[in-house]
Structure 1
Amino acid sequence: MSTAAAALDGGRARPGRPRHVSVAVPPGVSPRDQILQACAKLFTSKGFAATSTREIAEAVGIRQASLYYHFAGKDEILADLLGATVRPSQDKVAQIEAEVSPTCPEAALFVLALVDIQTLADAPHNVGMLARLPDVVSAGKGEVYAGFRDELRELTSSYEAFGARLAEQCGLGDADEELGAMLIQQVEGVIVLRADGVTVDKARANKIAAGCLRLCGCGQDQISQARHFAEDFVSRHLRSGQLESR
């Protein structure tokens, strides 16, 4: 608007065209988080390769050029989404080690599994499944995904450390070098269940976590005691999620 036109309009700025947002977001959500939420829905429903940056911008209600203010491209968005499926669990490891006695590795492993299960169960649009898609596996070799790969390795190492201690305590001797990967795959069953439309409630979460302990040779009495400790830990330290509300 020219200076003269602005004067004729009383100096008031005219309202811009309202944004059309195809993804419902709560009030106060930042533009960056709106983009992540939109991509979680688009990537899991259409696929990563099939989703264009134009579609992402339209879903959020912003110009395509504005998208690049927040992210360099789709790969950076995907790396952020994938990181969010492992980072909250790994962030709790130090707290688990501080609260659980080294003589109770079964409790430490159950807590980690339960925290990780809730992370995957609460992830928007089951974004954990993205790491398994062929186009994502291929893209994930790029440098932009280095942070996610490092975080996943750290989490796997935490599973391996807790599991190895438990396996030794249960008389299994030296744990299999793939134990960490086996344990994390057990927990990632949450992704498959969600893809099949199954609700991962508290009871199902406990069964998955108990399966981790059985892989390490743990008996039912130890599992029951570990479950009580883990449920208390989750209720004190994690925000309300599917495991508490259902």
Structure 2
Amino acid sequence: MVKGAGVGRPRASGAAANRPDARQAVLDAAGELFTGAGYAATTTRAIAERAGLRQASLYYHFPAKEDILAALLAETVRPSLDVAARLVAGSAAAAVRLWALAYADIGLLGGARHNLGALYLLPEVASPNLARFRAERADLKAAYGRLVAASGIAASAAGIRTDLVFGLVESIAVIRRDDPGLDVEAHVREGADGVVRLVAVEPSEALRNEAHALLASLTD
């Protein structure tokens, strides 16, 4: 058990398993502990105590610790996958759509309460139980690939450029780990700029403004 987890926090009654925020409380507690103490070192008991629940109540929502990890990882990719699907289907210039996707995606990873992107490096990510996460992450990378290809990159280089683009986007997790005081907004903008430079487009203020307008239209 992680030392100090849940100190001073009362355990909720069994009925608390049904309260609307119980599941989210578990995810918040697990996100903090997994990214702080480490996944292997964190027990479900520690998570339950940090969330203010009985351990049995935690199991009501998540039968195993790996199920909590799967839910947390889903939070890092599904919102971006939704944005990506609409951007890929859009008609704006490919570089604009690529900048918009990178901006949204880096912002999601960098702006989350806990640095969940750092969990991508866990060996447990290769577990069969996390196959859906891996498939969704692969789908997101494929969306980047379609935008890279639409930007005019030769087919022979598109795969490598997509690898570089995706690596640049996800690098914020390592940078954030090493620099907790990171200026996320500045990194998000520079990261999106770097992504479009990888498809031989120099970002301009006009491109950025069009991309921001495009993202805003997706939420209307």
The normalised TM-score by structure 1 is: 0.76
Which one-letter code corresponds to 2:163 in the other structure? A
Counterpart of 1:4 in structure 2 is none
User: Among 135, 147, 157, which residue is 1:150 paired with?
Assistant: 135
Query: Displacement, 1:114?
Result: 0.8
Instruction: Tell me how far apart the structure 2 counterparts of residues 149 and 179 of structure 1 sit (CA, whole Å).
Output: 20
Contact 2:148-2:158 within 8 A present in 1 as well: no
The reply to whether residue 131 of structure 1 matches residue 120 of structure 2 is yes
Query: Displacement, 1:175?
Result: 2.5
- CA offsets 1:155-203 (integer angstroms, 9 cap, x no match): 00011110122143xxx563342332211111112213322121211x3
Contact 2:85-2:143 within 8 A present in 1 as well: no
Counterpart of 1:113 in structure 2 is 102
Number of residue pairs the alignment of both structures matches: 204
Counterpart of 1:25 in structure 2 is none
Counterpart of 1:37 in structure 2 is 28
Counterpart of 1:164 in structure 2 is 149
1:161–1:57 distance in 2 versus 1, CA, 3 Å:
same
User: Among 48, 52, 56, which residue is 2:43 paired with?
Assistant: 52
Larger helix percent:
2
Counterpart of 1:199 in structure 2 is 183
Instruction: Tell me how far apart the structure 1 counterparts of residues 134 and 89 of structure 2 sit (CA, whole Å).
Output: 26
- 2:189 match: secondary structure: helix
Q: RMSD in angstroms over aligned alpha carbons?
A: 2.2
User: Among 66, 84, 89, which residue is 1:93 paired with?
Assistant: 84
Higher Rg of the two aligned structures:
1
Query: Displacement, 1:83?
Result: 1.4
Instruction: Tell me how far apart the structure 2 counterparts of residues 174 and 107 of structure 1 sit (CA, whole Å).
Output: 22
Query: Displacement, 1:152?
Result: 0.4
Structure 2: which 5+ runs fail to align? Answer: 1-8, 13-18
The reply to whether residue 187 of structure 1 matches residue 176 of structure 2 is no
Taking only the aligned residue pairs, the percentage that are identical comes to: 35
Instruction: Tell me how far apart the structure 2 counterparts of residues 44 and 230 of structure 1 sit (CA, whole Å).
Output: 32
- CA offsets 1:46-97 (integer angstroms, 9 cap, x no match): 0000001111111112111121110011111001111111110011123223
1:61–1:219 distance in 2 versus 1, CA, 3 Å:
closer
Instruction: Tell me how far apart the structure 2 counterparts of residues 175 and 199 of structure 1 sit (CA, whole Å).
Output: 32
Counterpart of 2:70 in structure 1 is 79
The normalised TM-score by structure 2 is: 0.84
